[in-house]
Amino acid sequence: MALVLGFAAALYAYGAYAKVPTFIRWRAIAVLIALVVGLQLALPDGHPIRQLTGGSAQPWIALFAFLLLGAAYVRGLAWLKAQSGDKDPAKAAAPVPAPQTGSFSEAELERYARHMILREIGGPGQKKLAEAKVLVVGAGGLGAPALLYLGAAGVGTLGVIDDDTVDNSNLQRQVIYRQDDIGKAKVLAASAAVTAQNPNITVKPYNRRLTREICAELFAEYDLILDGTDNFETRYLVNEVACGLKIPLIAAALTQWEGQISTYDPANGAPCYACVFPKAPDAALVPSCAEAGVLGPLPGVVGSMMAVEAIKVVTGAGQSLRGRLSIYDALYGESRTVGVKPRPDCTVCGAATS
């Protein structure tokens, strides 16, 4: 076996001396190993040539497989770099960080590698995420996990609006906050947590209540809206303005053990929130979390679903929840999805969908 390895090393060294391309040298070594494997399998036991080349085919097969894996790994890295558009190695070494809308740095390539090897996202999809502007309305139970996962996913600009402060009772489910955050503005604490996890993105905190006076101007700066608020007045306002600006809206809601989520996008043939819920239910039928309680991990499940849906909408991966309402029942471990349609008589989007 040492004889063959020595010959392979000499072959590689001579190729380097003769300036033969690296991939040709490795191919020559692969051919040599394949030849040895063939001899080991063809010749009878005890044959002198078999003894000189190791006596068994198994070690050579293992070595050949290892070389194939190494070659696949190198090719995979090269493919990731090509997908990201960073073909100049000098760019990675430059002290100036790569812009969010252009090439990725080496650190970002490594950070987002698991996304980039997904066929449905790849390098182009990760670029779309880096260029996306997503606004999260509400930094509570639903907004907390959505913000964390969208920031980790590399969404280039994240906005978050809320006028609340962190309370001790929030820590049971709003996992973006810590004990030391009690009393702080939620949007500021959330912004600090997201940028600490991923400093490559921009987070814009708006420490104020969302009102009709500022809603349209604020929404116009973003490509996608996520609504995780806990009151119907704000939900209907968010839907109305997003619909008017033709911005897709991902909205979710929680109660006790159950959550629901959908993507409302009348501009692309889906219903708006008011199509599905024309009127707010009586307050006695939908008590707040403070009155009825809510399972701690439930906002994490549904808020993470909002982040998944946002990534799909931005990248175009898979099938979004446009025209479908997904309902998750944590108490019985059941999920169901129902179809929803635009209403021609909807007072918000009826004119656009009729």
Task: Name the domain boundary from 59, 84, 109.
Answer: 84
> Do 53 and 188 have their domain in common?
no
> Is residue 204 predicted with pLDDT exceeding 60?
yes
What integer is the mean pLDDT of 21-46? 69
Q: How far is CA 249 from CA 75, 217, 263, 274, 347, in A?
A: 39, 16, 6, 12, 17
Is 228 within the bounds of a domain? yes
Burial of 144 (0-12, 13-18, 19+ CB in 10 A): buried
Is 102 within the bounds of a domain? no
> Do 177 and 252 have their domain in common?
yes
- Specify the pLDDT at position 346: 93
- Specify the pLDDT at position 24: 64
Mean pLDDT, rounded, of the chain: 84
Q: How far is CA 316 from CA 119, 310, 313, 319, in A?
A: 12, 10, 5, 8
Which of 27-31, 190-194, 294-298 shows the lowest mean pLDDT across its residues?
27-31
> Do 75 and 151 have their domain in common?
no
> Do 126 and 46 have their domain in common?
no
> Do 161 and 17 have their domain in common?
no
Give the domain extent around 77.
Answer: 2-84
> Do 180 and 298 have their domain in common?
yes
- Dump pLDDT digits (tens) for 119-155: 999 999 999 999 999 999 999 999 999 999 999 999 9
Is 98 within the bounds of a domain? no
Is 101 within the bounds of a domain? no
Quote the CA–CA distance of 245 and 257 in Å, as a whole number: 34
Is 177 within the bounds of a domain? yes
> Do 167 and 56 have their domain in common?
no
> Do 229 and 349 have their domain in common?
yes
- Specify the pLDDT at position 99: 38
Strands 224-227 and 133-137: parallel
Quote the CA–CA distance of 169 and 183 in Å, as a whole number: 12
Is 315 within the bounds of a domain? yes
> Do 138 and 256 have their domain in common?
yes
pLDDT band, residue 350 (cuts 50/70/90) = confident
Where helices occur in 43-185 by DSSP H, the ranges are 48-52, 58-84, 89-93, 106-111, 113-116, 122-131, 143-153
Percent of the chain at pLDDT exceeding 90 = 63
- Specify the pLDDT at position 78: 56
Which of 31-35, 38-42, 100-104, 294-298 shows the lowest mean pLDDT across its residues?
100-104
Residue that is written with structure tokens 């949007």 in the block:
187
| Structural domain total, the chain | 2
> Do 184 and 301 have their domain in common?
yes
> Do 204 and 278 have their domain in common?
yes
What integer is the mean pLDDT of 66-80? 64
- Specify the pLDDT at position 7: 64
> Do 182 and 235 have their domain in common?
yes
Is 240 within the bounds of a domain? yes
Q: What is the pTM of this model?
A: 0.70
Is 334 within the bounds of a domain? yes
CATH number of the domain that 347 lies in?
3.40.50.720
